[in-house]
Amino acid sequence: MSADLFTTIVTPNGKTIEQPLALFINNEWVKTDSTFETINPSTGKPICSVFKAGPVHVDQAVDAANIAFKSSEWSDLTGSERGDIIYKMAEIIKRDSELIASIESLDNGKPYLNECLGGDLKEAYEVFKYYAGWSDKHTGQLIGSQVLGKNKICYVEPIPLGAVGGIVPWNFPFMMMAWKIAPALATGCTVVMKSSEITPLSALFFGKIALEAGLPKGVLNILSGFGADVGSAMVSHPKLAKIAFTGSTATGQKIMEGAGASNLKKVTLECGGKSPFIVFEDCDLDLAVEWAYWGIYYNKGEVCTSTSRFFIQESIYDLFLKKFVELTKSRAITTDPFDESCTIGPLVSELQYNKVKKYVELGQKEGAKLLSGEFIDGPGYFCEPFIFAGCTDEMTIVKEEIFGPVVAITKFKTVEEAIERANNTTYGLAAALFSDNITKAHTVASKLEAGMVFINSNGDSDIHVPFGGSKMSGIGRELGSYALDLFTENKAVHVNMTIPFK
């Protein structure tokens, strides 16, 4: 392997990885005129430098994807044949999961064992395996003469959109790419993916997977770069039929504008959240406390579905606080994400570290009571989980998405109050509630304005189930069969069998 296209990385857990550094375009590793560093958030020091894409490389990748879409090597494949390739990708991910999880932990900071290997890589494998099975089953519909009338039928065929673009965030770099790449390939689309400039390494590994699995040239292209030039060029590109985006609401709004101003390309947006966590007095309190911890502190709180607003019924408010603070303080913080006991890694970057610090200071300034949490002096961007109590709905830490391990806790009296206050947000991604009263639980769930509601659990995600939000949290759904519809256009073909021309 060329030394300037790859580098050898030895991770703290002893894995040796031949890491790609170049862009992956048309099944080739492409150097550019400039590079940028990716930082290890556990130390604050550079891991390596990768080649930086620009608009010209977007053009190259999009051209390659469009040529591949029309090529007989891809377009003539049956669904079953596409599925075979996607399944090969799943098996390679499974085989190399420890390597990929290691580079993900190094680049992102999330715990290697509990989150990277046991969570993200396991799900990425399952996603590719799942959509491999869908490749020959998204078959369309026949509407017969018994509906349309004598001598006429119509068939509706799901047609792949063509070359599509994906833009993924830094909090789940590899898994979010899997969510987008697998269903796109299953439907027959070709793909141009942009990774986050903060976490580019595991995304580039996808190029190696594509080559080994036998994807034809141009079917998958991967760009490392920045949103201002690469992301914007993709959004405005007239030859991309769709953008699938996961990231902030503000960026999602810009993508909607750019897509409309270019070729009115289709857009799927999975954006921010400020999800409520409602605990009623008739719940299993210990269960609620455990799920509360997981729901806000998993992946360092850098999760769009994090339940960062707690609403606790006043009769159990003090007891909940006592148990939650005790549990939080009992979970030791280690500054080594490769330590098997690590449950919370460092924040992903210095920028994110400073952003969380600003919100913590603002919470104290606005009168919230800090019960637990502090920032840990370097190296790296570590902090303890933060718990704010005595909050009001007008406080900034209650209204704005922080994207860090910070929770704001308030109390409520009635069911109606809990529903009204939970819905008092511009976001609508997720919500969780705890109650042993099944009627109450389902009634409240039906009234919560969220794309996903969790009853007596939190943050659930399954490859068979649609994932996405309402209001300012996004448009469209990923996962399940629902994702396939967003990479296809339904073409209706009317068949006139014997009716004479008029």
Strand partners, 40: 45
Tokens standing for residue 15: 């894995």
How far apart are alpha carbons 119 and 138 in whole angstroms? 28
How far apart are alpha carbons 280 and 282 in whole angstroms? 5
How far apart are alpha carbons 157 and 489 in whole angstroms? 8
Instruction: Choose the catalytic residue: 270, 401, 449, 478.
Output: 270
270 is catalytic: yes
Exposure b/e, 398-424, CB count within 10 A at least 16 = b: bebbbbbbbbbbbbbeebeebbebbee
> What type of residue sits at position 432?
A
User: Residue for token digits 């857990």?
Assistant: 13
How far apart are alpha carbons 309 and 303 in whole angstroms? 14
Helix (H) / strand (E) containing 291:
helix 285-297
Exposure b/e, 309-339, CB count within 10 A at least 16 = b: bbbbbeebbeebbebbbeebeeeebeebbbb
DSSP character string of 92-123: HHHHTHHHHHHHHHHHH---IIIIIIIIIIHH
Exposure b/e, 182-204, CB count within 10 A at least 16 = b: bbbbbbbbbbbbbbbbbbbbbbb
Exposure b/e, 356-390, CB count within 10 A at least 16 = b: beebbeebeeeebeebbbeeeeeebbbbbbbbbbe
CA 453 to chain centre: 17
Catalytic residue IDs: 270
